[in-house]
Amino acid sequence: MRTSALDQDLFAAAVGSMPADELSAVRNDAASRFASLGFPTARNENWKYTNLSGAAAISNAWLREHAGVPFSSASITRPGQAESTLLRQIDANWIVIRNGSVDMNSLERTRKNYGAVINFSHLSDRTAECDIDVDDPMSAFNAALLLDGLHISVSPDSDSLTPLGILQIDDPSQQASQVRIVLEIGRSSSLRIVECALSANHGAQFTNAVIQASIASNACLSHVRLQLRGDEHVGVSRITATLDRDARFHHDAFDFGGSLTRNDVVAIIAGTNAQVRLHGLYLASGNQHIDNHTRVEHRVGPAVSDEEYRGVLSGRSRAVFNGQAVVFKGADGTDANQSNHNLLLSSQAEIDTKPELEIYADDVKCSHGATVGQLDEASLFYLRSRGLDQGEAKRLLTQAFASEFLSELSVEVCREYLTSTLDERLADLVSDRHL
Amino acid sequence: MSNMLEIKNLQARIAGNTILNGLTLTVKAGEVHAIMGPNGSGKSTLAQVIAGHADYEVLGGTVTYQGENLLALEPEDRAREGIFLGFQYPVEIPGVNNAYLLKAAVNAKRRHQGLAEIDAFEFLKLARERMSLLEMDASFLNRSVNEGFSGGEKKRNEILQMAMLEPKLAILDETDSGLDIDALKAVANGVNALRDPERAIVLVTHYQRLLDYIEPDYVHVLSKGRIVRSGDKSLALELEEKGYEWIQEAANA
């Protein structure tokens, strides 16, 4: 494992070279915060299993050459095969974010399609009214080096019929990118988002994306995140959703790619009768590393949270699941359920799973469970006795385990794309040479 | 007629316990054999060894199927060559669709035979036809394999698979146990409809009752891993009357 730390001198110089604009105050505040924190290390309990030294090495190179320089779209050639397929197969209004910069053509098209229902603006034009989260080190790093971000607000009492697509696509020529999206879902409105992350080419890249969402009373945010990064990609992502009363937040996360991936999902229940549903599926092979940390804060009750993450690991891959549910004092009527199930296809794959419940209220219903297992031998033999070969039988059983959520997907339009991508990826896992 | 299945002096064990102790049996095409015997006599072991379950270790003897050494084949190749095992305890497989499995199984066999795969339309037509034979509702096709099925439904589903795969040699392991009389009749009707001069059927059973509905050509009694007595269907009636102790005493003598 490479051990390198982020170079704080390079960081300070890069922050100093950022443009003087509306975001300057936010950047300087974030920079001083990050300077005292640095990249998280294994000494931080939340980062015990996930080593960011690869991200630090990529970041150092990037800080030396590119930070603060607006990305030139001229250096990205025509959209690649993967990008075209995805845009064609999922019926959404797409905003394309290349190496952290919003593609203005796609933004204009999308803006027109939604008319008055959704308002899109630059984050730099909204600094007066929204707080940029910088609470954790990676969010602070993101804010300190942010050229700009996207602010999306959905008007009250409106439904956006076509899902909003957000495609993050990165190219190793730029090495690192910071993405920040602030979402405001107005009262009694709903927004469905399908967010996809791709790599334009092979090569070492680091992306650090932060989404902050506030969901007003009786509003609903459905969010599918599909991560299909290249095999040298290091990705850190964080989504924080704050829910007012009767609000709903559905999050379905699919992590199929990347070399090292760390996702943080934080749901804050700040209003009664809010509902949170978190689904995650991670598939890892080879030396992939996928870490999902979730935290649901039940600040008031009654409210419901349901969470289930599933993983399939082959080769020497490693996954981490940490699910925190915190029930605050007085949050009576809380119903919080959480589970994490893992299928290990190889003896060298590893999962570290840790459900954490912290309960300070009296009248609550909470459950959690974690399982780790192999494919059922009796089922394998049954399928083979019907003429299916061993590989097909394994693939079928693995698919059955992994497809659990597809029937209740938050954003229907990506089902077909997701199913075919899942099948393809499972075929890789089942035929992993380290089985 | 040549022998379809020829088992000679078969010895096999599981988890260190020797279960089969020199079993010899010959089955020809068109015949129905019943293998009876008390618990632990090796009935299910015989069925599992023929299907190729890896937990059973063959210590000695030979199993010849259509003139070839069956023991050298993987379970899936045995199935594709026409061997079908109806499980005593069919496995529940959540998330795997019954129709998908049936179609995959039929096509695996067809590919092996060098035939074109069956298309969706032909498949549905065939499946519906075979299901009506077993008085099964069409909704079975869309359910997960055996998940939440009653005992009778599971056994019908086994016979449906047999009817779709049209095996040359079917081993039905306690297909009758745990069934009420209606389910037993439906299963027996299905099996009888599949009797064919080209097909051999081996019924492994604990109870004589099944043989009232599926009339065997031969009855064998298994005890301590060997066939200790063979006869026609009257042997089953004699067993019913005198119990297994009679055979075991005779075998020990």
Highest mean pLDDT among A101-110, A174-183, A219-228: A219-228
The Cα A238–Cα A161 span in angstroms is: 26
Q: What is the DSSP string of A211-262?
A: EEEEE-TT-EEEEEEEEE--TTEEEEEEEEEEE-TT-EEEEEEEE---SEEE
Whether B252 contacts B224, CB under 8 Å: no
Interface mutation target, options A371, A376, A380, A386, chain B, most CBs of B under 10 Å: A386
B143–chain A Cβ distance below 8 A for any pair: no
The Cα B212–Cα A66 span in angstroms is: 85
What is the ipTM metric for this complex? 0.96
Mean pLDDT value across residues A398-422: 88
pLDDT beyond 60 at A76? no
What are the structure tokens assigned to A149, written together? 């971000």
Q: Is residue B125 part of a domain?
A: no
Whether A156 contacts A247, CB under 8 Å: no
Confidence (pLDDT) at A68: 65
Q: Is residue B139 part of a domain?
A: no
Segments of chain B with pLDDT less than 70: 1, 250-253
Beta partners for residue A308, in sequence order: A279, A339
Mean pLDDT value across residues A165-190: 91
Q: What is the CATH number of the domain that holds B203?
A: 3.40.50.300
* The total number of residues written for chain B in this structure: 253
Mean pLDDT value across residues A79-98: 88
Whether B204 contacts B22, CB under 8 Å: no
Confidence (pLDDT) at B5: 97
Whether B210 contacts B186, CB under 8 Å: no
The Cα A3–Cα B46 span in angstroms is: 59
B96–chain A Cβ distance below 8 A for any pair: yes
On chain A, the residues whose CB falls within 8 A of the CB of B78 are: 385
Confidence of residue A321 (pLDDT cuts 50, 70, 90): very high
- Residue-wise pLDDT tens digits, A29-73: 999 999 999 999 888 899 999 999 999 999 998 888 876 666 554
Q: Pick from A151, A256, A241: which is nearest to A198 by CA?
A: A256
- What distance in Å separates residue B253's CA from the closest CA in chain A? 39
- Residue-wise pLDDT tens digits, A404-413: 878 788 888 8
Nearest by CB to residue A400, choosing from B51, B75, B93, is: B93
* Contact state of B75 with A389 under an 8 Å Cβ cutoff: no
The Cα B21–Cα B24 span in angstroms is: 10
Q: Is residue B104 part of a domain?
A: no
Q: Is residue B143 part of a domain?
A: no
Confidence (pLDDT) at A174: 67
Q: Pick from A301, A412, A291, A299: which is nearest to A353 by CA?
A: A291
Confidence (pLDDT) at B166: 96
Confidence of residue A78 (pLDDT cuts 50, 70, 90): low
List all residues 6 or more positions away from B173 whose beta carbon is below 8 Å from its beta carbon: B43, B44, B47, B85, B86, B87, B88, B204
The Cα A123–Cα A102 span in angstroms is: 11
Mean pLDDT of chain A: 91
On chain A, the residues whose CB falls within 8 A of the CB of B96 are: 383, 396-397, 400
The Cα A30–Cα A146 span in angstroms is: 10
> Taking a contact as any Cβ pair under 8 Å apart, which residues of chain B between 187 and 216 contact chain A?
none
* Contact state of B75 with A382 under an 8 Å Cβ cutoff: no
Mean pLDDT value across residues A199-217: 93
Q: How many domains does chain B have?
A: 1
Q: Is residue B22 part of a domain?
A: yes
Confidence of residue A79 (pLDDT cuts 50, 70, 90): low
Q: What is the DSSP string of A13-56?
A: HHHHTS--STTHHHHHHHHHHHHHH-S--TTSGGGSS--THHHH
Confidence (pLDDT) at A1: 41
In the structure, how many helices (H) and strands (E) does chain A have?
9, 19
- What distance in Å separates residue A422's CA from the closest CA in chain B? 15
Mean pLDDT value across residues A120-132: 89
Q: Is residue B97 part of a domain?
A: no
What are the structure tokens assigned to A212, written together? 């902050």
The Cα A141–Cα A12 span in angstroms is: 11
- Residue-wise pLDDT tens digits, A250-297: 999 999 999 999 999 999 999 999 999 999 999 999 999 999 999 999
Confidence (pLDDT) at A129: 82
Domain region containing B214: 3-90+151-252
pLDDT beyond 90 at A173? no
Q: Is residue B185 part of a domain?
A: yes
Nearest by CB to residue B96, choosing from A384, A387, A396, is: A396
Strand order in the sheet with B68-69: B17-28, B3-14, B56-65, B68-69
List all residues 6 or more positions away from B23 whose beta carbon is below 8 Å from its beta carbon: B7, B9, B10, B11, B42, B46, B61, B222, B225, B226, B227
The Cα A428–Cα A161 span in angstroms is: 35
The Cα A302–Cα B126 span in angstroms is: 53
Confidence (pLDDT) at B77: 97
Mean pLDDT value across residues A335-364: 95
Confidence (pLDDT) at A74: 43
Confidence (pLDDT) at A2: 44
Q: Is residue B101 part of a domain?
A: no
Which chain B residue has the Cα nearest residue A404? B95
